Amino acid sequence: NVPEKQWAMVIEKTGGPVDYKQIPVAKPGPDEVLVNIKYSGVCHTDLHAVNGDWPLATKLPLVGGHEGAGVVVAKGELVTDVEIGDHAGIKWLNGSCLSCDFCQTGDEPLCAKALLSGYTVDGTFQQYAIGKAAHVARIPKDVPLDAIAPILCAGITVYKGLKESGARPGQTVAIVGAGGGLGSLACQYAKAMGLQVIGIDTGDEKAAMSKKLGAHTFVDFAKSSNVVKDVQAATEDGLGPHAVILVAVNEKPFQQATEYVRPRGTVIAIGLPAGAFLRAPVFETVIGVKTIKGSYVGNRKDTSEAIDFYRRGLINAPFKTIGMSELQKVYDMMHEGKIAGRYVVDTSK
């Protein structure tokens, strides 16, 4: 029995505020499912959406959120492979055309008709959210819905980024923004993939957490007088890490990474600071045979793999739970850089 009305966090205009209010529950279309969201992770992307940081407009009014985990309560008549009662996740990629060049080759985040949860369609900061059945994450029932929520964007994204980096077991990867939501999970996925980890972020809490999650060295970017030297010194031969995963929300480290990455190494840009540019010296990039590339969420297979890493007990990043109605508090802490790990909202309060 699905109610007519539900609680949601809604912004009416870019810049906020985000209001806790009752709105109607949507009905799933023929190829959609309705998920009773129990928990939703709060990603920095949600804050970018509120603030209008990117050159892509959101829908308005907007229900944000794209790390929603819950139970399927209704489905359209074309949906045959998801059942009522199944556990499912609504992630950033809410839907895609499934037939373009990109969708056919497992690059569905690049689909020109992609629907983005909590951005171009309403997301998971509500009790009942809609997802295209083809794209909802399948969540095994032995996995807790609060802990799996952050995997649905942060986990998938860093797992994919690590794969895109080409780093091999035994090699070293620097995680820039290691103390944040994506960064904390990146430390864990990297460790599980057999990589050595250098964490870069700031503050004692994030330092301790990064080390606990798998970093052998932590470089505090606010205390270090030379981040480039300190990162290179943290590798055995002093030549720098084989890969860099950039998940910071700041332009400066995007320039630094190309300097300290090892010759033949790869810089993976994932963080999306407003108005930022990647800059690298042509000479050193060419003679160092360095690769710089973007990485954007993951496809459906990356999703199921990232969830399976969690199910197998390989991922254990910290998260804190708070009532959904207190979302603004989470945004405020996030804006200040005060969150170590991830916040997850409980949609029941």
- Work out whether 262 is an interface residue with ligand 8ID (CB under 6 A): no
Contact map string, positions 284 to 303, toward ligand 8ID, x by CB under 6 A:
-----------xxx------
- Work out whether 214 is an interface residue with ligand 8ID (CB under 6 A): no
- Work out whether 162 is an interface residue with ligand 8ID (CB under 6 A): no
SS3 content of the chain, % helix, strand, coil (to 5): 30, 25, 45
Rounded distance between C-alpha atoms, residue 142 and residue 100, angstroms = 35
Among 125, 221, 260, 319, binds ligand 8ID (CB under 6 A): 221
Residue 119 contact partner, candidates ligand 8ID, Zn ion, none, CB within 5 to 8 A by sort of partner? none
- Contact segment (CB under 6 A) with ligand 8ID among 76-84, 129-137, 231-239, 270-278 equals 270-278
Among 10, 37, 43, 115, binds Zn ion (CB under 5 A): 43
- Work out whether 339 is an interface residue with ligand 8ID (CB under 6 A): yes
Rounded distance between C-alpha atoms, residue 128 and residue 3, angstroms = 9
**Which residue in this structure is represented by tokens 């540019």?**
277
String of DSSP letters for 188-238? HHHHHTT-EEEEEE-SHHHHHHHHHHTEEEEEETTT-S-HHHHHHHTSTTS
Q: Which residue is nearest to Zn ion (CB)?
A: 43
# binding residues, ligand 8ID (CB under 6 A): 33
- Work out whether 95 is an interface residue with ligand 8ID (CB under 6 A): no
Closer by beta carbon to ligand 8ID, 139 or else 340: 340
- Bridge partners of 200, per DSSP, are 176, 219
Distance from CA of residue 36 to its chain's centroid?
A: 21
Rounded distance between C-alpha atoms, residue 194 and residue 186, angstroms = 12
Contacts (CB under 6 A) with ligand 8ID, residues 27-56: 43-45, 48
**187 φ/ψ angles, rounded to the nearest 5 degrees:** -55, -45
Contacts (CB under 5 A) with Zn ion, residues 154-173: none
- Work out whether 202 is an interface residue with ligand 8ID (CB under 6 A): yes
- Work out whether 91 is an interface residue with ligand 8ID (CB under 6 A): no
Residue 330 contact partner, candidates ligand 8ID, Zn ion, none, CB within 5 to 8 A by sort of partner? none
- Contact segment (CB under 6 A) with ligand 8ID among 19-27, 80-88, 135-143, 334-342 equals 334-342
Rounded distance between C-alpha atoms, residue 261 and residue 176, angstroms = 12
Sign for the CA dihedral angle at 321, 323, 327, 329 comes to negative
Among 130, 134, 153, 345, binds Zn ion (CB under 5 A): 153
The burial class, CB within 10 Å (0-12 / 13-18 / 19+), for 229 is middle
String of DSSP letters for 99-152? SSHHHHTT-GGG-TT-EEBTTTB--SSBSEEEEETTTSEE--TTS-HHHHGGGG
- Contact segment (CB under 5 A) with Zn ion among 39-47, 115-123, 257-265, 304-312 equals 39-47
What are the tokens at 19? 């209001």
Rounded distance between C-alpha atoms, residue 260 and residue 105, angstroms = 33
**Which residue in this structure is represented by tokens 């649905």?**
152
- Work out whether 182 is an interface residue with ligand 8ID (CB under 6 A): yes
- Work out whether 149 is an interface residue with Zn ion (CB under 5 A): no
# binding residues, Zn ion (CB under 5 A): 3
Among 6, 36, 40, 45, binds Zn ion (CB under 5 A): 45
Residue 117 contact partner, candidates Zn ion, ligand 8ID, none, CB within 5 to 8 A by sort of partner? none
What are the tokens at 185? 């999970």
- Work out whether 215 is an interface residue with ligand 8ID (CB under 6 A): no
Q: Which residue is nearest to ligand 8ID (CB)?
A: 180
Q: Which residues bind ligand 8ID (CB under 6 A)?
A: 43-45, 48, 153, 157, 176-177, 179-183, 200-202, 206, 221, 247-250, 252-253, 270-272, 295-297, 334, 337, 339
